[in-house]
């Protein structure tokens, strides 16, 4: 029978993700959890991430060919992604949901979900990047 509870390892992984401000990768989570639980196996981290994702406690973000990142915010939101350092910032675009669904219908799609990532340079990588575009 599959475990349906938040085990100590799963809890440690969840706490690590919630404490991070960077949407960590599995490798980063492993590194952090190992400090508190030195005997933890890499596979345990992946199994915990899979369980936490399937149970709606974290969201897995797949951005191109990069390693998956994990987000403690499971409510619908979007991301800004720095193409230089990989920083990932949560934001919410005030676009009405119906506009996005209508765009899909116009092309014969029944939209199941959507996500929006904007790619560019963060203010740390390009200080003038925060200036509005013309």
Residue 129: its pLDDT value, please?
A: 58
Q: What CATH architecture does domain 78-126 belong to? A: 2-Layer Sandwich (3.30)
Express the helix, strand and coil content of the chain in percent, nearest 5 each: 35, 15, 50
Instruction: Tell me which CATH code domain 8-71 carries.
Output: 1.10.10.10
Residue ranges per structural domain of the chain:
8-71, 78-126
The C-alpha atoms of residue 16 and residue 33 are separated, in whole angstroms, by 7
- Asked if domains 8-71 and 78-126 share a fold, the reply is no
Q: What is the mean pLDDT of residues 33-38?
A: 94
The C-alpha atoms of residue 32 and residue 20 are separated, in whole angstroms, by 10
Please tell me the pTM assigned to this model. 0.81
Answer yes or no: are the C-beta atoms of 63 and 69 closer than 8 Å. Answer: yes
- Radius of gyration in angstroms for the set of CA atoms belonging to the chain, rounded to a whole number: 18
Confidence of residue 93 (pLDDT cuts 50, 70, 90): confident
């Amino acid at each position: 029978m599959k475990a349906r509870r938040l085990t100590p390892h799963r809890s440690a992984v969840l706490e690590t993700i919630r404490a991070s401000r960077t949407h960590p990768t599995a490798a980063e989570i492993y590194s952090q959890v190992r400090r508190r639980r030195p005997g933890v196996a890499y596979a345990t981290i992946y199994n915990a991430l899979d369980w936490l994702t399937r149970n709606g406690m974290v969201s897995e973000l797949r951005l191109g060919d990069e390693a998956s990142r994990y987000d403690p915010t499971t409510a619908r939101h979007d991301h800004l992604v720095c193409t230089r350092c990989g920083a990932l910032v949560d934001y919410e675009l005030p676009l009405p949901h119906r506009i996005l669904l209508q765009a899909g219908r116009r092309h014969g799609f029944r939209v199941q979900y959507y996500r929006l990532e904007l790619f560019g340079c963060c203010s740390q990588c390009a200080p003038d990047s925060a200036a509005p575009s013309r």
